[in-house]
Amino acid sequence: MTHIMAITSEKGGVGKSTLGVHLAGAFTERGLKTLLVDEDGRIGSALRWATRGNGLPFEVLEPEEVKPKKLREYDVVVIDTEGRPKRKELRTLGERADIIVLPSGVSPLELEATQELLAFLYEDPQARRRCRVVLTRVPPVGRAAENARENLRDLGIIVCNTWVRHYASYMRAAELGTLCRDVADERAAIAWQDILDLSRELV
């Protein structure tokens, strides 16, 4: 049975496409046949990423290339949604995705934006059960992520145990059209382990 995962955010700069590309890579490494769908037609970050370098180890398609019959071939379909999607589109997203991943930074402004988006999504009880917050671009040192996670949980929000720390290897991976695990950087292995741990929490 195909597992549909949508990654969405109403705030830019939280690493939505970076997370989508790397989660798709982690699922693939774990032996799951994975498809990444880039629905952000305006920017197309995932599609651009896939055209650099020697290519990614999974398919990246535009929405019009995806046929319902084809979807059944995959274990996991990751959807990189449009940046700042309209509320109507978010409502539809809540109906078609098995899990909705909301990346969020740990600054007060980013956390407030995430809470506002969740308040809207939580109007649908089905969507409420499917939402997961992932803390991204986390400073590698300090307790910012831990504090943010516990504060959100106190509000009844489901937050993944694993957060994604802010390492230069992600930016380098985007430049090279590859995954952070394949970047020559001393922190690359640590960055990739964050992604692998997160992938196991989600699927």
DSSP assigned state of 57: S
- In 3D space, the residue among 109, 159, 156 whose CA is nearest the CA of residue 134 turns out to be 159
CATH number of 3-202: 3.40.50.300
CB 100 within 8 A of CB 8: yes
Res 127: pLDDT: 86
**Residue 164, φ and ψ in degrees, nearest 5:** -105, 115
Residue range 166-195: average pLDDT?
96
Instruction: Say how far residue 27 (Cα) sits from the centre of its chain.
Output: 12
Neighbours of 147 (CB within 10 A): 11
Q: Which has more pLDDT, 37 or 55?
A: 37
Res 41: pLDDT: 67
- In 3D space, the residue among 1, 72, 78 whose CA is nearest the CA of residue 34 turns out to be 78
Residue range 94-99: average pLDDT?
87
Res 1: pLDDT: 85
Residue range 163-171: average pLDDT?
97
Output Rg (C-alpha) for the chain, integer angstroms. 16
Give this prediction's pTM. 0.95
**Angle, vertex CA 156, rays to CA 145 and CA 146, nearest 5:** 15
**Angle, vertex CA 109, rays to CA 6 and CA 157, nearest 5:** 50
Q: In the predicted model, what is the mean pLDDT of the chain?
A: 92
Delimit the domains of the chain by residue range: 3-202
Res 59: pLDDT: 96
CA distance 79 to 21: 10
Alpha-carbon distances, residue 181 vs 22, 26, 46, 91, 99 (angstroms): 9, 10, 17, 35, 25
pLDDT per residue over 113-151, tens digit each? 999 999 999 998 888 899 999 999 999 999 999 999 999
